[in-house]
Structure formats: structure tokens, C-alpha cells
């Protein structure tokens, strides 16, 4: 592995680690908020227990999210100084707003976690809502910064220097909206299914009320998200077709520019011969998905010099994984809605709970896959069409070692977090069982 | 414009040293007192823990938005100590949280504590080393000079190491003051007052060491210091505060202790900035990076300032509320 590869891997590992905690930090406060709200309305203590149990988990995730985010804000400069030197002033504005949003989030979370007895009940409930809103806002701000890398705006690029910088235009670039809604929905879907899955397996063991309630709250959010997700993803894809045709061509493995372009499902891309083996091809559907017209022309990779191709197989597989999971989660959501409004007995069935359990990691896998599509699909550019990733690399040799170090640290940390959470859950579960 | 942003940068740095310093120092103090302070430190810090953290993020964001060349130069030349700081931040942040939220069980608690204590020490030390590297001026832009000269030498030197020690003592001292004014038990008050006094002595000694090693490494810290009226005034004031601090350590008074401790730290940082100003990073073989040549364009600075001012207007009242709820609230109510 050379330094360049190591730096890319390190960036990917650090971001992939952070995003899990970030999603949970954005979404769990909403669940807690609903649980507490239900408690205030119904006086059923189960809801209070649930809100408290969740809030402990959130505190752990939040702290790890914050430290891994801090690491990222340094890593951008440690690995890509040539990028940050130009990009910092341009795409920095969302980061400064994110700072504020996070600050508010941290304060509100402090109040929420430690204020159960010190705050008036209404105020306490309200701090939970503030945590949720500011969490989602921080997510949107950061994604807007990332969107700028995909659709650079707000500056003139002359002889390798940025002039006439306009941070507002940069922040509201052409990709921010489509990425922001898709990401926010994804966070709700991923976290919701994960929470529901964990409670489903516990519910399978013992039919405790607390788990049933937990599943309902988590799925109420997740199922709406999962149904919106493909719509939102379709908008994202249309936007990519406009802004970054090479990325679209890469994740669709679309080598040849053509009208009535086929949608390729599955298959193994063969970059050498510019074909996809063993795939299902639906003629015209790619044209329709990308441009809303079965006869539209879709630009293929042949329009780009080969050294500007993103890695095709990785982006293709990742895209397939994301869409596949998206379809499956939508199905679960449909069952849940049908079960809630009509077929109540479904929701007590073993197959349903097992299905939920199977879906526990899926949302997060889709999130990772989606980010790989976005980030790897942008290669070889770090700022699309402006600066190449390899030209912004740190001059320091030996990044391999920092990559190994960071990976080991995060690997250990992941195990500890999982172990810790399962202990928490066990204790809670045992407490409930002994209370009968 | 750029001056305002710089001022906010300095304020954030102050607050990080003061508030963040107290919690980094908390770990060091625990280590020094073999865990005696553990529960007190945890209890005092926990609610403000995340908020403390954000000052550092603000510093980083202001740097890469407003002063991009400072950000990329420092993170390139001082990559290694910064990486060590980051690993330390990951370890102490996680260990602290785990200790706080994991179910009570002796062995894991012990492990979290040990990690929290040692990584607090480790992180603070390398934070100081990094600062030392920025001040000393051994950073080179000539990447052909070889790995050692470019990536190791700027921070692996006596001056940076003594900066590391200095920061360790400063943070531990701050935590000491924080703890003394936090505990109720008379026996422990005395004990921690004694520890804090020793730390204060150590602080004065390592302060001298910083000047000495600067001279050894060929940095004119002392000369620059003597030429800067602000720095002299700052140090004089910090010295005048010493006997008062001593008095209040013997007869603890929450408000006075925190005020004087905070004042002294402020003076130390002010004295340093007065020497350094307007240089932000000292470079060995080229023009130093200064406030004037590092600033991003006007419009960027303007929007950054707007974001910061709006941010402060939102944040300050919320922080105030947080402190009000937890510091002056009813202590008898338990948290969970
Ligand atoms: C639960 C997670 C999840 C699910 C089920 C889906 N996505 Fe997604 N997708 C993401 C999570 C995600 C993401 C991780 O959040 C990304 C990465 C960047 C972004 O903004 O969102 C993303 C990116 C992303 C992009 C690239 C955007 C860009 O590069 O600017 C496209 C085209 C799609 N998605 C399309 C879809 C479609 C058609 C789906 C149909 C089911 C779908 N996604 C389901
Ligand atoms: C959290 C979700 C994200 C994930 C999982 C993710 C993933 C990745 C991956 C896998 C790479 C390596 C791509 C390659 O080298 O082929 C990468 C690169 C990078 N990402 Fe992201 N990314 C995320 C969000 C962001 C955001 C929000 C930003 C900035 C605001 C960002 C900035 C970068 C940069 C600077 C690089 C390095 C240059 C490059 O390879 O293009 N990423 N990311
Ligand atoms: C799509 C990508 C990202 C999303 C959605 C996201 C979202 C979040 C959220 C919600 C938090 C709060 C922590 C929590 O609730 O657990 C957070 C923390 C943080 N994130 Fe990210 N983040 C992303 C990528 C990044 C990147 C690329 C950076 C750095 C350049 C970054 C820097 C930070 C920092 C510094 C914190 C901690 C804040 C603090 O301690 O002040 N994040 N992020």
C-alpha cells in the first residue's frame, strides 16, 4: 500500500466510523423525546424507563461521535493539506454553523441527561427536542460541505487559486439539497431499524411491554423514512446525472453513451472490456431514472478519458447494495404500516420479529455503501473538476502506519462499545424480568 | 475583520485552556492522587464535559476557514504530535464516558480509570509539545531536508518537551483549584490544597524551564519577553496574584479561588500572545506565518465573523443556563 492509498483508506475508515455515531446522535434524541412525551401523556412508567434507558446509550454514542468528529476535523488537514488550504475558506461556513449547532446539541443533551430531577418536566421534554433538532442541523451542515466537494460553487478558479470567494453560494451549492434530504432520511431509517432490531430480539425472548413500545416508536420513524428513501434517492440520482455524469456512469456501470439506456441490475463490471457480465438489463430504464424520459441520452464513461474514471466495480457494487437494502427496508416498512392499521396480529408473529432482527445492521450498511458511492464515485477528484485527490495529499511519508494505528484504535473501540451496550441491555432486561 | 476573528480564536483557546484544561487536568490529578479525586472530578465535570470539548473544535474551524495556511502548515509539520494528541483524545474521551455509564463492576471501572488518567497526561503533554513546535520556529517548508528535519525535529527538542511539562502542570493545577472548591469533606480539602500548592510550585519551576530551554534552542523568548510591556505586565500581575492564591488555598473560597486561578492562567496566555503577536507560526527558513499573511479574503472573514457572533449569541445564554442548573442547583438531588 502506498501513502496515497493509505491516506484514502484512513479517511474512509475514520468517516465510516464517525457516521455511525453521527446518525445515532442525530436520531436517538427524537426517539427519547417521543418516549418521554408519551410518558407525560399516558403516565405509563414504561415510557419513562425507555427514555432513560435510551438516554444512557445516547450518551455513550454521543461521546464517541464527538471524539471521532474531532479527530476528523484534524485529519482533513493532516491527510489533505493541499485540499484544505484552498477549500477551508470556501466550504468552511457550514462547518462554523455546525459548530454552533453541535454546541447547542451538547448543552441540551447535558441538560437532558442530568436534568431529570432538576428541570421542570415540560422544560426537560423540550431539551430533548432541542437535542434532536440541533443534531439533524449539524448533519445537514456537514453534508452541505461534502456536497460542495461534489458540486463546487462560490469561487472562480484561476491558475490554481480561488478568487471571488462567496461562502454563501458555496454552502448552498447545487448538490446540498439532494444530499441533505437523502442523508437525513437515511439516518432515521438506519437508526430506526437498528433500534427496532435489537428490541425485536429481546421481545422474542420475553414479551415485555417495554420492547413492544420501543419497536413501535423506532419503526414509526423508520418506516416513514424507508418509504421516502427511494423517492429521495431517485432525486439524488437525477441530480448526480446532471452534475457528475461520470459518477452516475460508474455506479450504473454504464460504459457507452446511448439513448434508451438500460438499467443494469447486479452483474460483474468488466472494466477492461467495458461490459457487465451476468447482469439483468432493463432497456430504457436508466434513461428514465436519470432524466425522466425513456428515450433520453445518458452519458457513459466513454465520454471521459480513462484516467478520470472513478473505480467502477466498487461504486457499482456499493450502489447495488444500497438500493437492494433500500428496497428490502421499504418492504418491512410496508408490513409495519399494514400491521399497525389493519393486520394487528402480524406484529406479534415470530417471522416478523425475526425479520426485524435480521434488518438490524442493514440501514447502516446502506449508509456506508451510499457514502462509498458518493466519495469513491467522485474520484479522481477531491473537488470535482478542480483539484485531484492525489495532488492534495500530505507530503509526509509513512501514512500507512497512521492508517494502521487509527484502524486498530477504532476496531478496539467498536468492540468495547458493542460490549458495553450489550451489558446495559442485559442489566435492563434482567431488572424488568425480576420486577415481573 | 481578521483581527476580530483572531480575537475570537484567542478567546476560544483561553476557554479551552481554562475549562478543557480543568478536565484534562482532572485526569492528571487523579493519577497524582491515586484516584482519590475520581468521583469528585467525574461529578464536577460530567455535565459540562461535551461543551468543554467544543472550544477545540471552534479553534480548528476558525483556523481552517480564516487562517488556512496556519492549519495546513501546522498539521503537516507537526503531524506526529498532533496524531498522538488525537489518539489521546479518543482514549480519554471514551474511557471517561464508559466509566461514567458502564454498569458498576470493579475490574472494568479500574481499567477505564487507568486509561483515562494516563491518556489525560499523555494528551496534555503532546498538546504542549505541539504548541512548543508552533512557537519555536524549527518548522521548515523545504520538504527535501529529510524526514527527521521536516517531521521530527520541529517538536522533538528540549523547548517543546518543557512546554509539554508546563502544560501538564498548568492543567493539573487548574483541576486542583477546581477540585478544592468543589469538595465538602474538610479532610480532603486540606489534602487537595496541599497538592495544588505543590503543583503551583512546579508550575513556576517549569515556567522557568521553558525560558531556559528556549535559550538553549536558540529562540529569543527572554529577549522578546523583556521587550514586550504587555508580557511583563501580565507576568507581574500573575506573580502578585500568587500570595492571594496561597491564602485562599489555605482557607478555601470557591469564588475567589476560581477567579484567581482563572486570572493567572489568563495572564500566562496573554503574556505568551503578546510575545508571539502578530506571528502565528514561526518558520525556520522562510517568512513566518503572521496574522496579515495568513488571513483568508475579506468576504470569508466577514461571514466567519457573522457565524461566530450569531453562534456566541446563541451559545452563551445556553451555557449560562447549563452552569446555573448544575452548579448552583440543589446538590441533594441525584442525577439518574
Ligand atoms: C439507509 C440508507 C440508505 C438507503 C436505504 C438508500 N440510500 Fe442512497 N445514500 C445513502 C443512504 C441510503 C447515504 C449514505 O446517506 C448517501 C451518501 C451520500 C448522501 O448524501 O447520502 C447516499 C447516496 C446516494 C446517491 C449518491 C448521491 C451523490 O453522490 O450525490 C444516490 C444516487 C442514491 N443514494 C440513491 C439511492 C436510491 C435510488 C435508493 C433506493 C432505494 C437509495 N439511495 C437508498
Ligand atoms: C460520513 C460519511 C462519509 C463517509 C463514509 C465517507 C467515505 C469516504 C471514503 C470511503 C473516502 C475514500 C474515497 C477514495 O479514496 O476512493 C472518502 C474520501 C474523502 N472524504 Fe468522505 N465520506 C463521508 C463524508 C464526508 C464529508 C462530510 C466530507 C467533508 C466535508 C468528506 C471529505 C472527504 C475527503 C476530503 C476525502 C479524501 C479525498 C478523497 O478521497 O476524495 N467526506 N470519504
Ligand atoms: C455525513 C457526514 C457527517 C454527518 C452526518 C455528521 C454528523 C455529526 C453529528 C450529528 C455529530 C454530533 C455527534 C453525535 O451526535 O454523536 C457530529 C459530531 C462531529 N462531527 Fe460529524 N458528521 C459528518 C461528518 C463529519 C466530518 C467530515 C467532520 C470533520 C471534518 C465532522 C466533524 C465533526 C466534529 C468535529 C464533531 C464533534 C463536534 C464537537 O465535539 O464539537 N463530521 N457529526
DSSP secondary structure string for all residues of B252-277: --HHHHHHHHHHHHHHHHHHHHHHHT
Q: Which domain holds residue B96?
A: 2-327
Q: How far is the CA of A22 from the centre of ligand 3 (A)?
A: 6
Are B94 and A115 inside 8 Å of each other by CB?
no
- Residue A259 β-bridge partners: A297
Average pLDDT over residues B60-88: 90
**Burial category of A435 from C-beta neighbours within 10 Å (exposed 0-12, middle 13-18, buried 19 and up):** exposed
Are A74 and B60 inside 8 Å of each other by CB?
yes
pLDDT at position A209: 83
pLDDT at position B207: 87
- Residue A383 β-bridge partners: A387
Question: Is residue B334 in some structural domain?
Answer: no
Q: What is the ipTM of this complex?
A: 0.86
pLDDT bin (cut points 50, 70, 90) of residue B48 is low
Cβ A372 vs Cβ A318: under 8 Å: yes
Buried b (16+ CB within 10 A) or exposed e, A61-87: bbbbbbbbbbbbbbbbbbbbbbbbbbb
pLDDT at position B329: 45
Looking from the CA of residue A64, the nearest atom of ligand 3 is 16
Is there a cis peptide before residue A67, judged by omega within 30 degrees of 0?
no
A-chain residues near B101 (CB < 8 A): 56, 59-60, 420, 424
Average pLDDT over residues B81-99: 90
Beta strand A280-282 with A263-265 is antiparallel
Say how far apart CA B333 and CA B275 lie, in whole Å: 48
Pocket flag, ligand 1, residue A326 (CB < 6 Å): yes
* Percent of chain A at pLDDT exceeding 70: 100
Rg of chain B (C-alpha set) = 20
- Residue A270 β-bridge partners: A275
Residue A221 pLDDT more than 60? Answer: yes
Say how far apart CA A227 and CA A110 lie, in whole Å: 33
Residue B285 pLDDT more than 60? Answer: yes
pLDDT at position A80: 93
B-chain residues near A102 (CB < 8 A): 54, 57
Does A88 touch chain B if contact means CB atoms closer than 8 Å?
yes
Average pLDDT over residues B220-240: 83
pLDDT at position A332: 92
Residue A426: count other Cβ atoms within 10 Å of its Cβ: 12
**Burial category of A253 from C-beta neighbours within 10 Å (exposed 0-12, middle 13-18, buried 19 and up):** buried
Average pLDDT over residues B101-116: 82
Say how far apart CA A276 and CA A262 lie, in whole Å: 12
Provide the 3-class DSSP secondary structure of residue A115.
Answer: coil
B-chain residues near A394 (CB < 8 A): 76, 79
* Partner-chain residue, chosen from A74, A110, A427, that has the shortest CB–CB distance to B47: A110
Looking from the CA of residue A376, the nearest atom of ligand 2 is 16
Structure confidence by residue, pLDDT tens digits, A372-403: 999 999 988 999 888 889 888 888 888 999 99
pLDDT bin (cut points 50, 70, 90) of residue B332 is very low
Does A167 touch chain B if contact means CB atoms closer than 8 Å?
yes
Does A169 touch chain B if contact means CB atoms closer than 8 Å?
no
Q: Please state, in angstroms and as integers, the Cα–Cα distance from residue B41 to each residue in A246, B45, B48, B250, following that order.
A: 55, 6, 12, 20
Nearest to A332 by CA among A202, A229, A232, A425: A229
pTM of the model: 0.90
* Partner-chain residue, chosen from B51, B68, B90, that has the shortest CB–CB distance to A85: B68
Average pLDDT over residues B120-133: 92
Average pLDDT over residues B281-301: 80
Torsion of CA B325, B331, B334, B335, to 10 degrees: 30
pLDDT at position B234: 87
Number of domains forming the structure of chain B? 1
Pocket flag, ligand 3, residue A102 (CB < 6 Å): yes
What are all long-range contacts of A321-324, with beta carbons under 8 Å and residues at least 24 apart? Answer: A321/A365, A321/A366, A321/A369, A322/A233, A322/A366, A322/A369, A322/A370, A322/A373, A323/A230, A323/A233
Q: How far is the CA of A63 from the centre of ligand 3 (A)?
A: 11
Buried b (16+ CB within 10 A) or exposed e, A137-168: bbbbbbbbbbbbbbbbbbbeeeeeebeebbbe
pLDDT at position A435: 67
Of A116-125, A314-323, A356-365, minimum mean pLDDT range: A116-125
Pocket flag, ligand 3, residue A60 (CB < 6 Å): no
B-chain residues near A100 (CB < 8 A): 307, 310-311, 314-315
One of 1.20.1630.10, 3.40.1160.10, 3.40.640.10, 1.10.10.60 is the CATH number of A3-257+299-434, namely 1.20.1630.10
Residue A177 pLDDT more than 90? Answer: yes
Average pLDDT over residues A274-299: 82
Structure confidence by residue, pLDDT tens digits, A41-83: 998 888 988 888 888 888 888 888 888 998 999 999 999 998 8
pLDDT at position B45: 62
Does A85 touch chain B if contact means CB atoms closer than 8 Å?
yes
* Percent of chain B at pLDDT exceeding 90: 12
Question: Is residue B95 in some structural domain?
Answer: yes
Say how far apart CA B124 and CA B116 lie, in whole Å: 12
Rg of chain A (C-alpha set) = 23
Least Cα separation, residue A76 to chain B (angstroms): 9
Average pLDDT over residues B296-319: 85
Can you tell me which residue has the cell 495556511? B69
Question: Is residue B201 in some structural domain?
Answer: yes
B-chain residues near A396 (CB < 8 A): 76, 79, 150-151
Phi, psi values for residue B138, rounded to 5°: -100, 5
Structure confidence by residue, pLDDT tens digits, B7-19: 888 888 888 888 8
Cβ A23 vs Cβ A367: under 8 Å: yes
* Partner-chain residue, chosen from A64, A118, A413, that has the shortest CB–CB distance to B325: A118
* Percent of chain B at pLDDT exceeding 70: 92
Strand runs labelled E in A117-262: 156-158, 161-163, 258-259
Question: Is residue B188 in some structural domain?
Answer: yes
Does A405 touch chain B if contact means CB atoms closer than 8 Å?
yes
- Grid cell locating A380: 479522481
Pocket flag, ligand 2, residue A170 (CB < 6 Å): no
Pocket flag, ligand 3, residue A65 (CB < 6 Å): yes
Residue A36: count other Cβ atoms within 10 Å of its Cβ: 26
Question: Is residue B336 in some structural domain?
Answer: no
pLDDT at position B37: 62
Q: How far is the CA of A378 from the centre of ligand 2 (A)?
A: 9
* Partner-chain residue, chosen from B65, B97, B307, that has the shortest CB–CB distance to A89: B65
* Percent of chain A at pLDDT exceeding 90: 39
Question: Is residue B333 in some structural domain?
Answer: no
Which residue among B16, B57, B61 has the greatest number of ligand 3 atoms within 8 angstroms of its CB, and so is best to mutate?
A: B57
pLDDT at position A300: 81
Looking from the CA of residue A9, the nearest atom of ligand 2 is 12
Beta strand A297-298 with A258-259 is antiparallel
Q: What sign does the CA torsion over B130, B132, B135, B138 have?
A: negative
Are A167 and B299 inside 8 Å of each other by CB?
yes
Q: How far is the CA of A414 from the centre of ligand 3 (A)?
A: 17
pLDDT at position B327: 65
Residue A174: count other Cβ atoms within 10 Å of its Cβ: 15
Q: How far is the CA of A279 from the centre of ligand 1 (A)?
A: 21
Average pLDDT over residues A307-329: 90
Q: How far is the CA of A355 from the centre of ligand 1 (A)?
A: 23
Find the ligand nearest to A242 CA: 1
Is there a cis peptide before residue A189, judged by omega within 30 degrees of 0?
no
Q: What is the mean pLDDT of chain B?
A: 82
pLDDT at position A402: 92
Of A95-99, A417-421, B49-53, minimum mean pLDDT range: B49-53
pLDDT at position B336: 41
Say how far apart CA A312 and CA A128 lie, in whole Å: 43
Does A409 touch chain B if contact means CB atoms closer than 8 Å?
yes
A-chain residues near B46 (CB < 8 A): 114
pLDDT bin (cut points 50, 70, 90) of residue B46 is low
For residue A265, give the DSSP letter.
E
Structure confidence by residue, pLDDT tens digits, A113-163: 888 888 888 888 999 999 999 999 999 999 999 999 999 988 888 888 887
Pocket flag, ligand 2, residue A12 (CB < 6 Å): yes
Least Cα separation, residue A139 to chain B (angstroms): 16
Amino acid at each position: 500500500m502506498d501513502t496515497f492509498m493509505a491516506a484514502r483508506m484512513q479517511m474512509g475508515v475514520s468517516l465510516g466510523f464517525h457516521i455511525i455515531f453521527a446518525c445515532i446522535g442525530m436520531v436517538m434524541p427524537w426517539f427519547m423525546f417521543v418516549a418521554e412525551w408519551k410518558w407525560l401523556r399516558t403516565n405509563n412508567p414504561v415510557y419513562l424507563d425507555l427514555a432513560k434507558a435510551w438516554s444512557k446509550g445516547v450518551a455513550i454514542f454521543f461521546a464517541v461521535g464527538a471524539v471521532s468528529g474531532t479527530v476528523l476535523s484534524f485529519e482533513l488537514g493532516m491527510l489533505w493539506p493541499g485540499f484544505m488550504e484552498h477549500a477551508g475558506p470556501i466550504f468552511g461556513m457550514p462547518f462554523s454553523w455546525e459548530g454552533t449547532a453541535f454546541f447547542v446539541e451538547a448543552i441540551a443533551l447535558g441538560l437532558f441527561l442530568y436534568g431529570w430531577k432538576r428541570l421542570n418536566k415540560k422544560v426537560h421534554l423540550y431539551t430533548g427536542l432541542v437535542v434532536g433538532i440541533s443534531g439533524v442541523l449539524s448533519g445537514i451542515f456537514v453534508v452541505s460541505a461534502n456536497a460542495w466537494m461534489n458540486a463546487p460553487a462560490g469561487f472562480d478558479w484561476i491558475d490554481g487559486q480561488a478568487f471571488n470567494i462567496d461562502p454563501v453560494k458555496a454552502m448552498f451549492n447545487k448538490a446540498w439539497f439532494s444530499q441533505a434530504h437523502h442523508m437525513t432520511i437515511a439516518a432515521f431509517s438506519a437508526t430506526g431499524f437498528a433500534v427496532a432490531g435489537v428490541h425485536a430480539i429481546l421481545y422474542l425472548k420475553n414479551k415485555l411491554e417495554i420492547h413492544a413500545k420501543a419497536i413501535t416508536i423506532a419503526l414509526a420513524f423508520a418506516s416513514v423514512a424507508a418509504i421516502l428513501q427511494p423517492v429521495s434517492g431517485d432525486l439524488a440520482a437525477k441530480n448526480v446525472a446532471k452534475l457528475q455524469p461520470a459518477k452516475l456512469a460508474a455506479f450504473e456501470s454504464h460504459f457507452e453513451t446511448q439513448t434508451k439506456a438500460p438499467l443494469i441490475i447486479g452483474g460483474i463490471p468488466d472494466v477492461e472490456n467495458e461490459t457487465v457480465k451476468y447482469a439483468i438489463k432493463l432497456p430504457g430504464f436508466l434513461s428514465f431514472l436519470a432524466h425522466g424520459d425513456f428515450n433520453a441520452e445518458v452519458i457513459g464513461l466513454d465520454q471521459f478519458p480513462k484516467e478520470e474514471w472513478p473505480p467502477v466495480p466498487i461504486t457499482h457494487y456499493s450502489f447495488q447494495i444500497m438500493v437492494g437494502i433500500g428496497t428490502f427496508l421499504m418492504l418491512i416498512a410496508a408490513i409495519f404500516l399494514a400491521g399497525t392499521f389493519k393486520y394487528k396480529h402480524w406484529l406479534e408473529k415470530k417471522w416478523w420479529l425475526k425479520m426485524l432482527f435480521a434488518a438490524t445492521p442493514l440501514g447502516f450498511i446502506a449508509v456506508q455503501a451510499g457514502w462509498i458511492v458518493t466519495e469513491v464515485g467522485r474520484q479522481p477528484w477531491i473537488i470535482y473538476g478542480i483539484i485531484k485527490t492525489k495532488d492534495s495529499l500530505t507530503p509526509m511519508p509513512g501514512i500507512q502506519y497512521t492508517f494502521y494505528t487509527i484502524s486498530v484504535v477504532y476496531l478496539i473501540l467498536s468492540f468495547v462499545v458493542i460490549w458495553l451496550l450489550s451489558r446495559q441491555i442485559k442489566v435492563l432486561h434482567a431488572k424488568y424480568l425480576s420486577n415481573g | 475583520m481578521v483581527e476580530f476573528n483572531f480575537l475570537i480564536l484567542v478567546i476560544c483557546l483561553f476557554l479551552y485552556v481554562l475549562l478543557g484544561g480543568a478536565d484534562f487536568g482532572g485526569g492528571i490529578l487523579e493519577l497524582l492522587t491515586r484516584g482519590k479525586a475520581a468521583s469528585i472530578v467525574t461529578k464536577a465535570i460530567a455535565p459540562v464535559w461535551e461543551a468543554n470539548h467544543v472550544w477545540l473544535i471552534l479553534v480548528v474551524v476558525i483556523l481552517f476557514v480564516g487562517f488556512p495556511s496556519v492549519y495546513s502548515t501546522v498539521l503537516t509539520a507537526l503531524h506526529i504530535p498532533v496524531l498522538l494528541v488525537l489518539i489521546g483524545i479518543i482514549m480519554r474521551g471514551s474511557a471517561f464516558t464508559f466509566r461514567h455509564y458502564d454498569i458498576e463492576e470493579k475490574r472494568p471501572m479500574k481499567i477505564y480509570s487507568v486509561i483515562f488518567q494516563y491518556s489525560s497526561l499523555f494528551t496534555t503533554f503532546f498538546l504542549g509539545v505541539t504548541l512548543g513546535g508552533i512557537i519555536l520556529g524549527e518548522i521548515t517548508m523545504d520538504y527535501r531536508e529529510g524526514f527527521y528535519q521536516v517531521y521530527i525535529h520541529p517538536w522533538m527538542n528540549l523547548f517543546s518537551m518543557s512546554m509539554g511539562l508546563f502544560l501538564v502542570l498548568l492543567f493539573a493545577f487548574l483541576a486542583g483549584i477546581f477540585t478544592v472548591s468543589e469538595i465538602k469533606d474538610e479532610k480532603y480539602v486540606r489534602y487537595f490544597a496541599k497538592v495544588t500548592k505543590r503543583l503551583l510550585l512546579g508550575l513556576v519551576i517549569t515556567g522557568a524551564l521553558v525560558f531556559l530551554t528556549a535559550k538553549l534552542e536558540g529562540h529569543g523568548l527572554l529577549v522578546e519577553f523583556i521587550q514586550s510591556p504587555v508580557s511583563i505586565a501580565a507576568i507581574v500581575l500573575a506573580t502578585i496574584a500568587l500570595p492571594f492564591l496561597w491564602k485562599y488555598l489555605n482557607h478555601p473560597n470557591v469564588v475567589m479561588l476560581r477567579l484567581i486561578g482563572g486570572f493567572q492562567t489568563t495572564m500566562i496566555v496573554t503574556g505568551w500572545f503578546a510575545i508571539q503577536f502578530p506571528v502565528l507560526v514561526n518558520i525556520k527558513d522562510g517568512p513566518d506565518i503572521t496574522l496579515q499573511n495568513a488571513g483568508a479574503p475579506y468576504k470569508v472573514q466577514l461571514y466567519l465573523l457573522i457565524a461566530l457572533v450569531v453562534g456566541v449569541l446563541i451559545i452563551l445564554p445556553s451555557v449560562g443556563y447549563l452552569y446555573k442548573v448544575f452548579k448552583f442547583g440543589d446538590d441533594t438531588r441525584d442525577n439518574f
